[in-house]
Structure 1
Amino acid sequence: MSAPTGPFQVASVDYRAAFDALRAVRDTVFVQEQQVPVELEIDATDPRCRHVLARDGGGRPIGTARLDPEGRIGRMAVLRDWRARGVGSALLHALLRVAREDGLDRVSLHAQAGAIEFYRRHGFSPLGGRFMEAGIEHQAMQLQFDRPLAVEDREAAIATTTAIILAARRRLWIHSRELDPGLYDQPGVIEALRRFGTAGVGGEARILLHDATAAQRAHAPLIGLAQRLSSVFAFREVEDPVDRACPSAFIANDAGGYYFRALGHRFDGETQRDARARARQLCDSFDLAWERARPCSELRALGL
């Protein structure tokens, strides 16, 4: 069977009105595919939860998730043929909006072991050790709103950067010394940037470097991607002494997400997914430096 194509939509739904659609997805994924006993999959909490449902272009249900009154996300399920197509991310973002609208200051979940990295990319942090639930290994995770989360190592930096890119609507700002080997050359980050560049929404990514020559010598894969998508990605190199003396680096998007590193040659820093004032502050300072910087025409002509 070929992979499905075309658009999908995610919306909040009334539990009783959408009961059959919700059950169709959850029965397929949890009961049939993962062999979760039906008596464990169905619980008394369902009617009290906020539910979101993804449908394909023909209106068929393809994914679902829920948020309980205590702020716990659960029953995240996407039909097999629609996985790795952004449906899970869209469901999660919809629930995070619901959580904020309900005034919650944090959300939590029990992630299946194979989905831990997915949730890390979306800003969730592990809590405690792993455990078994319904015969499947899980990890408790949490996301707290309106407070910066620490990014402490390269693995977290890659996950955070990927999440910021995937959450962008039309704009990305990247301030990097030399495209950070170990970060902007990682397959997951490059794939997220490729998806951003080919989304067809008129996107623009501005990349401000301190040393374009070093990135060129390293054959940074982002340069090759930018060549193929030159209408989306643009490079400039700082020249002003004040800008060159700035030690920090960051990535920010137009949805209020950012990942800031006070020392740009290190991975440790802080991130928030919905901090519009802080993200706007970073982008405003970026735009001033961008106007003073020189276009990197040599990167556009580089053959990799």
Structure 2
Amino acid sequence: MSAAPDTPLPFQVEAIAFADGLSDLRAVRDVVFVQEQGVPVELERDALDPLCHHVIARDDQGRPIGTGRLTPDRRIGRMAVLGEWRNRGVGEGLLKALLAQARALGWPEVTLHAQVPAMAFYARQGFLPYGERFVEAGLDHQSMRLALDAINPVPSREAGLAALLGVIDGARRQVLLYSRDLDPGLLDQPEALKALRRFAVGGGEVRILLQDPAAPQRAVAPLLGLAQRLTTAFTLRAIEEPVDADYPSAYAVNDRGGWYFRPLGHRFDGETRLDGESRARQLRMHFEPVWERARPCTEYRALGL
């Protein structure tokens, strides 16, 4: 498995038995958890290790650079990547290898305890937060879960934000947003704005359909400012046809099978899946004729849009 195109450093991820890989697994985990994060070694080296399914990442010299494991209770853990290899695709490679193992084992769902700063990373792979945050080994954590090869329910705003990040970051060239009023609580969040900016700067196209274009203008929605700065990437249109204005739902959909659908557009609860091409196609087919009937948001011209 290769690293990301912008950081072409070769590495491979493989499954490894704990007994065979003990020294290499600890070589990574001791550095990341014990030395960097201050986790007591007696907590890091737990009794579950011999019972887990492990994966390890190695550089082109065979040296260990990352680890991860699946526990008997169907939880991903001990995700660790050496500092010089972070943001080079290693974490994603480890996670995908663990999910492939979980599928091979026939697991319907996997969970994990994400360190809070890493939540966006897991959201990009479809994981959604649930429950309250908690402290584990002295660090703030959030439980997250992913239904494998199935629709994932979205019960809260926090889960909705994670679903939205997954759709945006999973897009290839296009993201379509059908929204009542730019969705305060979602599209105004720093994480969402950062993801949209990254996608747009990378050459992506974002089309946004609005039922109430005046509301975000009154609220000085930050997404309008982002769209003003990146006019070639963002296009906003206002819905006028009564049949379209009466549509109660909202959604985000990309061009790689990812979608987040809310039956009631003023609520956050709904469903999501990042590999559901059939439903994504339905949503794109709904979006296109409405887009053709909608008008440009001329009221944003004063903002430079």
When the two structures are superposed, what TM-score results if normalisation uses the length of structure 2?
0.76
Question: What amino acid is the match of 1:235?
Answer: L
Change (3 A) 1:295 1:148: same
1:7 matches 2:7 = yes
1:229 Cα deviation from its structure 2 partner: 2.3
Q: 2:262 matched to 1:261?
A: yes
Matched to 1:172, the amino acid is V
Map of 1:167 onto structure 2: 170
Residue of structure 1 aligned with 2:185, choices 182, 185, 199: 182
Displacement of 1:214 in angstroms is: 2.9
Structure 2 unaligned regions, length at least 5: 1-5
**Residue aligning to 1:32:** 35
Contact 1:120 1:160 in 2 (8 A): yes
Contact 1:107/1:144 (<8 A) preserved: yes
Query: 1:82: how far off?
Result: 6.6
Q: Deviations over 1:22-60 (max 9, x none)?
A: 54432211121233344554567469625253869x998
Structure 1 unmatched ranges of 5 or more:
1-5
State the Cα distance separating 1:20 from its structure 2 match: 7.1
Give distance in 2, aligned partners of 1:29 and 1:269. 37
Q: How does 1:1-304 map to 2 (within 5 A)?
A: 7=7, 11-15=12-16, 22-38=25-41, 40-42=43-45, 45=49, 49-51=53-55, 53=57, 63-68=66-71, 71-80=74-83, 88=91, 91-93=94-96, 95-100=98-103, 103-112=106-115, 115=118, 119=122, 122-126=126-130, 130=134, 132=136, 140-199=143-202, 202-296=203-297, 299=300, 302-303=303-304
Distance 1:297 1:209, change over 3 A: same
Mapped contact 2:128–2:162 kept (Cα < 8 A) = no
Indicate how the Cα distance of structure 1 residues 48 and 266 shifts in structure 2: closer, same or farther if over 3 A, else same. closer
Q: Give distance in 1, aligned partners of 2:62 and 2:210.
A: 45
The percentage of aligned residue pairs carrying the same residue is 53
Deviation at 1:136, TM superposition (A): 5.4
Tell me how far apart the structure 2 counterparts of residues 233 and 59 of structure 1 sit (CA, whole Å).
Answer: 44
> Does the Cα contact within 8 Å between 1:175 and 1:207 map onto a contact in 2?
yes
Counterpart contact for 2:55–2:97, Cα < 8 Å: no
TM-score by length of 1: 0.76
Structure 1 residues 277 and 217, CA gap change in structure 2 (3 angstroms): same
Q: How far off is 1:231 after superposition?
A: 2.8
Tell me how far 1:105 sits from its aligned partner.
1.5
| Distance (Å, rounded) in 1 between the aligned partners of 2:64 and 2:297 | 46
Contact 1:8 1:55 in 2 (8 A): no
CA contact (8 A) 1:236 1:295 kept: yes
- Contact persistence 1:123–1:273 (CA under 8 A): no
Deviation at 1:11, TM superposition (A): 4.7
Could you say if the C-alpha distance between residues 220 and 128 of structure 1 is closer, same or farther in structure 2, counting changes exceeding 3 Å? closer
Letter of the aligned partner of 1:53 in structure 2? A
Which one-letter code corresponds to 2:198 in the other structure?
A: R
How far residue 261 of structure 1 moved from its aligned partner, in angstroms, is 1.4
CA contact (8 A) 2:160 2:268 kept: yes
Structure 2 counterpart of 1:3? none
Mark the CA change 1:88 to 1:165 in structure 2 (over 3 Å): closer, same or farther. farther
SS of the residue corresponding to residue 127 of structure 2 reads coil
Q: CA deviation at 1:208?
A: 1.3
**What RMSD in Å do the two structures reach over aligned CA positions?**
3.9
Q: Is the 8 A contact 2:154 2:160 kept in 1?
A: yes
TM-superposed deviation, 1:297: 5.3
Select between 58-67 and 220-229 the one with higher mean Cα deviation. Answer: 58-67
**Does the 8 Å CA contact 1:259/1:269 hold for their aligned counterparts?**
yes
Change (3 A) 1:300 1:50: farther
Task: Work out the CA distance in 1 between the residues paired with 2:67 and 2:56.
Answer: 6
* In 2: Cα distance, 1:180 partner to 1:265 partner: 8
Whether the 8 Å CA contact 2:14–2:57 is kept in 1: the answer is yes
Equivalenced residues, count: 296
SS of the residue 1:231 aligns to: coil
Measured against aligned partners, the alpha-carbon deviations of 1:215-249 in whole angstroms (never above 9, x if no partner) come to 33332221222232233222222233221221111
The change in CA–CA distance for 1:51 and 1:150 in structure 2 (over 3 A counts) is same
1:288 to 1:182, Cα distance in 2 relative to 1, 3 A: same
* CA shift digits 1:42-84 (9 cap, x unpaired): 567469625253869x998664433357632111124457768
